[in-house]
């Protein structure tokens, strides 16, 4: 009995040992979950994992990606020998910030990058954006994935978009709208364009709203003539970036309203007369084409009739000739018979 119990205990221990070994063989080794700290210019950011509270940076309007322009990602607790993969949407990834010796411009960066950890356990990279729209940064390492959000704040006013008319009627009032953006096309709010006028009166432009738009109204003089209008913003060109559009000027011809209306009516009448003449010419052309087609059809009919008559005449001649041939054959046969009879007699 004792020997049997010992065998059972050994067997149980063996089964347990095999189970433990099997567990190690089936379950892969677990990887560490790295820790990620976000900061902007040395100040930690703790809300960037939520889209409604993204990390907010300045866009690199000076064409240098400096501390305020980028989110620093500091990773620790990474398993040695692994790599960190980063992808970005509406943002860019760089490995370091701009310095005097190693400048990083707004044209740098990539939408995806891989950082090999090697024998260490830390990694570091930066993300920046040129857009005031929401951007997404996704970080992956050994099965762990983290998502963060970034948004840029517009730079200073750089580009003015304004399309004035070139002709206006006397005593008319025209409402204009202009738009102000930064060097990357982001809307700039709160900037008031400067308006300069010659032989015109106008309201003061409003400051740009949330859409970057500013409005003002121009009153044109009661006497025809040439006027001028210029709209401008304060902007400084940045080396390495497109030249700023900071002023748009135009001459506007003011014409007599009645004369302009009469000219417009005359123009419309001339257009109508030209259209009517073109339509009449087209109709005449169609009629001529129809007459030519009818003549062609008549000619073809006459040709067919003549051809049919010729065929009838030819058939009649052939029949007459056939009859004459038959008569000649009959006469020949008759004469041959007579000649034969005389020869016999």
The pLDDT tens digits along the chain (345 residues) read: 444 555 455 545 444 444 444 444 445 557 789 999 999 999 999 999 999 999 999 999 999 999 999 999 999 999 999 999 999 999 999 999 999 999 999 999 999 999 999 898 999 999 999 999 999 999 999 999 999 999 999 999 999 999 988 999 999 999 999 999 999 999 999 999 999 999 999 999 999 999 999 999 999 999 999 999 999 999 999 999 999 999 999 999 999 877 767 777 888 888 988 999 899 888 888 888 888 888 888 888 888 888 888 888 888 888 888 888 888 888 888 887 878 777 776
- Residue 307 vs residues 57, 301, 321: alpha-carbon distances, Å: 96, 10, 21
The strand pair at 35-40 and 123-128 is best described as unpaired
Question: Residue 22: its pLDDT value, please?
Answer: 45
pTM: 0.67
Distance, in Å, from the CA atom of 23 to the CA atom of 10, rounded to the nearest integer, reads: 20
Tokens of 110: 């990539």
First vs last C-alpha separation in the chain: 164
- What the block records as the tokens of 321 is 């000739």
Looking at residue 29, its pLDDT comes to 59
Q: How far is CA 1 from the centre of its chain?
A: 88
Q: How many CA atoms are closer than 13 Å to the CA of 298, on its beta-carbon side?
A: 6
Residues of the chain with CATH 2.60.40.10: 159-255
CATH number of 159-255, picked from 3.20.20.70, 2.60.40.10, 2.60.120.890, 2.60.120.10: 2.60.40.10
pLDDT, residue 14, reads: 44
* Choices 3.30.1120, 3.50.50, 2.60.40, 1.10.1060: CATH for 35-153: 2.60.40
Instruction: Show the 3-state SS of the chain.
Output: CHHHHHHHHHHHHHHHHHHHHHHHHHCCCCCCCCEEEEEECCEEECCCCCCCCCEEEECCCCCCCCHHHEEEEEEECCCCCCEEEEEEECCEEECCCCCCCCCCCCCCCECEEEEECCCCCCEEEEEECCCCCEEEEEEEECCEEEEEEEEEECCCCCEEEECCCCEEECCCEEEEEEEEECCCCCECCCCCCEEEEECCEECCCCCCCCCCEEEEEEECCCCCEEEEEEEECCCCCCCCCCCCECEEEEEEEEECHHHHHHHHHHHHHHHHHHHHHHHHHHHHHHHHHHHHHHHHHHHHHHHHHHHHHHHHHHHHHHHHHHHHHHHHHHHHHHHHHHHHHHHHC
Sequence-separated (6 or more) residues with CB below 8 Å from residue 98: 64, 65, 66, 104, 105
Contacts of 96 (CB under 8 A, 6+ apart): 102, 104, 126
pLDDT of residue 260: 65
């Amino acid at each position: 009995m004792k020997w049997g119990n010992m065998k059972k205990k050994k067997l149980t221990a063996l089964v347990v040992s095999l189970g433990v070994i099997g567990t190690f063989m089936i379950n892969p080794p677990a990887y560490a979950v790295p820790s990620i700290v976000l900061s902007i210019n040395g100040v930690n950011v703790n809300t960037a994992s939520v889209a409604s509270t993204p990390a907010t940076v300045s866009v690199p309007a000076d064409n240098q990606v400096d501390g305020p322009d980028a989110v620093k990602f500091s990773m620790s607790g990474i398993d040695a020998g692994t790599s960190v993969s980063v992808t970005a949407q509406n943002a860019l990834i760089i490995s370091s910030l701009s310095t005097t010796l190693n400048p990083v411009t707004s044209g740098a960066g990539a939408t995806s990058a891989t950082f090999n950890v090697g024998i260490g356990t830390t990694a570091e990279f930066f993300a920046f954006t040129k857009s005031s729209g929401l951007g997404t940064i996704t970080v992956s390492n050994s099965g762990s994935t983290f998502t963060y959000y970034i948004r840029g704040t517009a730079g200073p006013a750089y580009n003015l978009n304004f399309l004035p008319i070139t002709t206006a009627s006397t005593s008319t009032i025209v409402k204009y709208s202009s738009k102000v953006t930064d060097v990357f096309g982001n809307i700039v709010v709160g900037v008031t364009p400067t308006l300069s006028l010659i032989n015109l009166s106008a309201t003061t432009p409003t400051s740009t709203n949330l859409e970057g738009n500013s409005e003002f109204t121009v009153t044109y003089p009661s006497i025809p003539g040439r006027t001028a209008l210029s709209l401008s913003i304060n902007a400084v060109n940045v080396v390495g970036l497109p030249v700023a559009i900071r002023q748009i000027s135009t001459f506007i011809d003011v014409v007599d309203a009645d004369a302009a209306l009469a000219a417009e009516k005359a123009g419309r009448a001339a257009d109508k007369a030209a259209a009517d003449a073109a339509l009449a010419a087209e109709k005449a052309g169609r009629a001529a084409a129809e007459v030519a087609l009818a003549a062609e059809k008549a000619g073809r009919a006459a040709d067919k009739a003549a051809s049919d008559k010729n065929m009838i005449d030819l058939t009649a001649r052939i029949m007459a000739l056939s009859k004459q041939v038959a008569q000649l054959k009959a006469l020949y046969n008759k004469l041959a018979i007579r000649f034969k009879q005389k020869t016999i007699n």
